[in-house]
Structure 1
Amino acid sequence: MDGNRKTEIKKLTTEYMHRQEEMEEKRSRRMKGLKRRLSVFGAFMLLFVIVVSVTLYQQHSAIQESERENQLLQEELEDLQAEGSSLEEEIELLHDPEYIAELARRDFFLSKPGETLFQLPRSQMNDD
């Protein structure tokens, strides 16, 4: 018999219950507000991290490019310094009259009085 009978439970509408429901509603609203604030804060933090990451990547790329350019310019400077030192040696040699005479004989086929020059074919000169 007890199985067929419906049990009805009445809610007590007391002032205590009313305050508890209001407090639960306030807590629920606060939690919703907290979740919203945290979501907005999280979105701003994510945006900040993305912007900082992109900026750091661009700066890193620019630094690498500058280092590559610096390396190339350093190599070019070394080449130019080597060329400059060889030109300085050439200048020193050009102050020597014997070197000038040798250049004149080799490049312009000039000879000293009483001297005979013989020109060999280039193929024989390269074999030496």
Structure 2
Amino acid sequence: MLSAKDKRVAQIQSSYVEEQQVKAHFQERKKRGLARRLSFLCIICGILFAMFTSIFISQNTVITDKEQQKKELEKQLSTMEKEEGKLKEEIKKLNNPEYVGEIARRDYFYSKPGETIFKLPSSNGTN
């Protein structure tokens, strides 16, 4: 470790020199510990950043899917509400005896006493 030139130079052996060597050694250990702690902290921050980014992306995907599903369900709701309105109107009509009689004569060929029913071909070519 010491070269031939360094062996010729004698070091002063005093308490001050020893204190300075101990102090320098302590400072060096302190710097290495700080570097290790900072490296560890950077690694932890990187891992947390990656986790939060992954969570954000997955939540964003889920939200987009849910919004699309909501739009589809709203369309389905509007068509069902229209159908409900038609069915309620049909219920009102079916409570009317004249309308029920008209349907019975048209679809089931019922007739009033003394009435003759003639079925004419429809205008669009179907029976």
Confirm or deny a common fold (TM above 0.5). yes
Matching residue of 1:95: 95
1:20 shift after superposition: 5.3
Alignment of 1:95-114 (within 5 A): 95-114=95-114
Matching residue of 1:73: 73
1:91 shift after superposition: 0.8
Task: Tell me which amino acid in the other structure corresponds to 2:108.
Answer: F
- % identical equivalent positions: 33
Tell whether 2:47 aligns with 1:30. Answer: no
1:51 shift after superposition: 1.6
Matching residue of 1:43: 43
Alpha-carbon displacement from aligned partner over 1:75-99 (angstroms, at most 9, x marks no partner): 2222222211111100111122221
Q: CA RMSD in A?
A: 2.7
Counterpart Cα distance in 2 of 1:119 and 1:12: 133
Counterpart Cα distance in 2 of 1:106 and 1:125: 16
TM-score, length basis structure 2: 0.70
Alignment of 1:110-125 (within 5 A): 110-121=110-121, 124-125=122-123
Task: Tell me which amino acid in the other structure corresponds to 1:125.
Answer: S
Tell whether 2:112 aligns with 1:126. Answer: no
Moved more, 16-25 or 55-64: 16-25
Q: Helix, strand or coil: the match of 1:119?
A: coil
Q: How many residues align?
A: 118
Task: Tell me which amino acid in the other structure corresponds to 1:109.
Answer: F
Task: Tell me which amino acid in the other structure corresponds to 2:99.
Answer: Y
Unmatched runs of 5 consecutive residues or more in structure 1: 1-7
Unmatched runs of 5 consecutive residues or more in structure 2: none
1:18 shift after superposition: 6.2
1:112 shift after superposition: 2.7
Counterpart Cα distance in 2 of 1:97 and 1:77: 32
Alpha-carbon displacement from aligned partner over 1:8-50 (angstroms, at most 9, x marks no partner): 8975734576665554444333222211111100011111111
